[in-house]
Structure 1
Amino acid sequence: MTELHQAAAAGDLQKVEEILTGNRCSPNQRDVDWSYKTPLHWAAAKGHAETVRILIEHGARSGLRTEHGWTPAHFAAESGQLAVLRLLHSFHAPVDKEDCCGDKPVRIAEIYGHQDCVRFLKRAEIECQAYRTVAAQKGISLDDTDEEWAEQGKENGKNNIQQ
């Protein structure tokens, strides 16, 4: 786990900004010891919305997945972090991707009983899909796919990616 991962998990906004502005660590660095989580996964799971915002503004990719296919939205849904889910959605993060078991963030929120997150994610999924359609029509590039995870899934036959 890098210093940036630790700062993001702790919600240490000053440290996160210091590391990112000093280019001391990529905001997309995957931690091989923790299921390939990025600092954004940690911040989302812990509910540190401002840290999530700073990471994304410094190039953190919200579509990157852990080894089991979880996006930051899955982690926010698991821990009931509605503010983080709203923020991710405002940045057009994929809030509707399936993990390797076929579960979307809305299902994770259901499992953990976070009904406010479930209600939000049901609406957000529709908006997310509509935005993808408009983006495709207008030629707007979206960063909602994790190419590395998709390639590993093809090789291992482990995941089911819904694009």
Structure 2
Amino acid sequence: MAADDRSRSEAAKQRRQDQLQRWLGSETDRTGTELRDRPSTSGGRRARVCFAQGAVFMAACSAGDREEVSELLKQGADINHANVDGLTALHQACIDDNIDMVQFLVENGSEVNRGDNEGWTPLHAAASCGFIPIAKFLIDHGALVGAVNSEGELPLDVATEDAMERLLKAEIKKQGVDMENARREEERVMLRDAMAISAGRGTLTPHSITGATALHVAAAKGYMEVMKLLFQCGLDVDCKDCDGWTPLHAAAHWGQEEACSLLADNMCDMGAVNNVVRGKIPVPHCLP
């Protein structure tokens, strides 16, 4: 493995750990637990039934019970149902190294390129775990080797095994994927969308689960031109996600010093406190 590839892989693993650590104990994490523990008599009928069915479906998939999974699908279960952090049954089957369930789900309509809340596709999951047969199957059934997660990482970037790297590099070469262009795709899309909004041809909608805005994402990744356009659109510099994180929290957490400075120049609240760590303010991470 080349030194720069190894460095990228180690950085990817560390960022994933940071992502998971942020999620644990967060408002969205607790919301998911509350939903799982909620008595069946609470809430509206439709929401209760849908959630219960989705939870049962994912449990059946995890148990490898094809008969029950098939029956639930006949009853209308959503094969692409996702839990609170965006994982589908296909993601979980990849993580569990359950190729039989992976094959069953894909053959019955699971979305092979569906991303979780961090943009990780099932192929990202298989690549990071080193499960080559699953990765091969996913690729043969349309998984994109050029798909990027929320960190702009390809499945190759999160692969930790030499054999997995060889497989993905061979497929990238076969498909003619420009890796650097793929990694920059998210920024290009966000810039295009921000330009459309600035011209009055679109609207800004926070993430349905996390409450994060485009400004949170741009700040976390240092997309400076996107941030500048979003400021022109009048987006609140101190907007908060469901965990109380402002864009400054996001920029500070991911070490984006230039983004921190730009937020400060736009009069963000330097003493903002989130909901996850009491008294946590973003300033010390990247500003004097």
TM-score (norm 2): 0.42
Mean CA deviation greater in 70-79 or 46-55: 46-55
Gaps of 5+ in 2: 1-53, 178-204, 222-288
* CA distance in structure 2 between the partners assigned to 1:4 and 1:70 by the alignment: 21
* CA distance in structure 2 between the partners assigned to 1:24 and 1:40 by the alignment: 17
RMSD: 2.4
Q: Secondary structure at the match of 1:2?
A: helix
Corresponding position of 1:141: none
What's the CA shift for 1:155? 4.6
Corresponding position of 1:78: 128
Structure number with higher relative contact order (C-alpha < 8 Å, ≥ 6 residues apart): 1
- Is 1:123 aligned with 2:173? no
* 1:113-152 alignment, distance < 5 Å: 114-129=161-176
Match of 1:156 among 200, 214, 226: 214
Mean CA deviation greater in 98-107 or 80-89: 98-107
* CA distance in structure 2 between the partners assigned to 1:90 and 1:99 by the alignment: 20
What's the CA shift for 1:13? 3.2
Corresponding position of 1:29: 81
Corresponding position of 1:90: 140
Task: Tell me the amino acid that sits aligned with residue 63 of structure 1.
Answer: N
Task: Tell me the amino acid that sits aligned with residue 135 of structure 2.
Answer: L
* CA distance in structure 1 between the partners assigned to 2:107 and 2:61 by the alignment: 14
Task: Tell me the amino acid that sits aligned with residue 12 of structure 1.
Answer: D
- Is 1:5 aligned with 2:63? no
* CA distance in structure 2 between the partners assigned to 1:86 and 1:18 by the alignment: 28
Q: Deviations over 1:94-147 (max 9, x none)?
A: 13211111211111113xxx11111101112233457xxxxxxxxxxxxxxxxx
CA spacing shift, 1:79–1:13, aligned 2, 3 Å:
farther
* CA distance in structure 2 between the partners assigned to 1:47 and 1:107 by the alignment: 20
Computing the radius of gyration over CA atoms, which structure comes out larger, 1 or 2?
2
Give aligned-pair identity as a percent: 25
What's the CA shift for 1:68? 0.6
Gaps of 5+ in 1: 131-150
